[in-house]
């Protein structure tokens, strides 16, 4: 899968995403990441990409021309238009389902805004999806773009190893992860729950599900309500969970 990130700060994107699991996936050729500097496409002789807003008001706006030309440089004329995400607090809130859906695309363009935003006309022309990462305002779209690339790339086949993907796919829907422990068995006087040392796999699974349910109820009542509603619909089926 190929990501094209249109940004004024390409080094932010490539720097942060070349480490760890995503970096490894790029080395293996499972994902490609191209950060395109919108400034390289301005026709302004001073390399300016922003301008004042019509109608007045504070702040500057990214002009349509450099954004459109950067977009044209990454899309193939003979292929259908790729899905193009504009990262904006005015978008729909990003979630795991959206990550999964975007991961089915062969190519994805992610547009990062700066200043007070981007001229509406170029957005109308190229954007297919308006996506936010939550209800707070950041100084630019780069961090949200990185968040999305990371979350989407995890769903590309081969990016995660077996252990990592088993952790996400094989448990029970809508529940948070249970608490986990590693050696030593006693740390600062605190003991690992005895059941985890018992070797009784059935008991361990029951304990983990119980802990997941308790944790979800306490920390994410919104998710817990979903879980309960789903359980009520499928009373006979063994509960399944997925990790967040």
The footprint of ligand 6GU (CB under 6 A) covers 87-89, 132-134, 136-138, 140-141, 144
Distance CA 33, CA 146 (A): 11
CB of 151 to ligand 6GU, least distance (A): 13
Structure tokens at 38: 């919108």
CB of 159 to ligand 6GU, least distance (A): 23
CB of 238 to ligand 6GU, least distance (A): 37
Q: Tally the C-alpha atoms within 13 A of residue 223's C-alpha that lie toward its C-beta.
A: 21
In the bound state with ligand 6GU, the residue whose beta carbon lies nearer, of 108 and 213, is 108
In the bound state with ligand 6GU, the residue whose beta carbon lies nearer, of 107 and 129, is 129
Spatial CA neighbour of 126 closest among 89, 73, 50? 73
CB of 137 to ligand 6GU, least distance (A): 5
Distance CA 203, CA 209 (A): 10
Distance CA 35, CA 17 (A): 11
Q: Are strands 186-187 and 190-191 parallel, antiparallel or unpaired?
A: antiparallel
In the bound state with ligand 6GU, the residue whose beta carbon lies nearer, of 54 and 136, is 136
CB of 99 to ligand 6GU, least distance (A): 14
**CA separation, residue 206 to residues 71, 234, 238 (Å):** 51, 19, 12
Number of H helices, E strands in the chain: 9, 9
In the bound state with ligand 6GU, the residue whose beta carbon lies nearer, of 42 and 132, is 132
In the bound state with ligand 6GU, the residue whose beta carbon lies nearer, of 1 and 133, is 133
């Amino acid at each position: 899968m190929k990501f094209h990130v249109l940004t004024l700060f390409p080094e932010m994107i490539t720097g942060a995403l070349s480490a760890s699991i995503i970096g490894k996936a790029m080395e293996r050729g499972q994902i490609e990441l191209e950060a395109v500097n919108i400034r390289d496409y301005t026709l302004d002789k001073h390399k300016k990409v922003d301008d004042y807003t019509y109608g007045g008001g504070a702040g500057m706006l990214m002009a349509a021309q450099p954004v459109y030309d950067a977009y044209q440089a990454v899309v193939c004329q003979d292929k259908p238009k790729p899905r193009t995400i504009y990262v904006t607090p005015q978008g729909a809130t990003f979630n795991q389902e959206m990550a999964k859906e975007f991961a089915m695309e062969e190519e994805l363009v992610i547009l990062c805004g700066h200043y007070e935003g981007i001229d509406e006309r170029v957005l109308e022309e190229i954007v297919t999806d308006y996506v936010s990462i939550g209800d707070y305002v950041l100084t630019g779209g780069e961090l949200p773009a990185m968040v999305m690339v990371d979350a989407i790339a995890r769903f590309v086949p081969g990016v995660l190893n077996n252990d990592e993907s088993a952790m996400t796919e094989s448990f029970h829907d809508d529940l948070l992860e249970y608490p986990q422990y590693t050696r030593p068995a006693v740390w600062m006087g605190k003991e690992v729950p005895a059941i985890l040392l018992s070797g009784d796999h059935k008991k361990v699974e029951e304990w983990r599900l119980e802990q997941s349910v308790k944790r979800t109820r306490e920390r994410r009542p919104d998710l817990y309500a979903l879980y309960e509603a789903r359980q009520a619909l499928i009373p006979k089926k063994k509960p399944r969970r997925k990790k967040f």
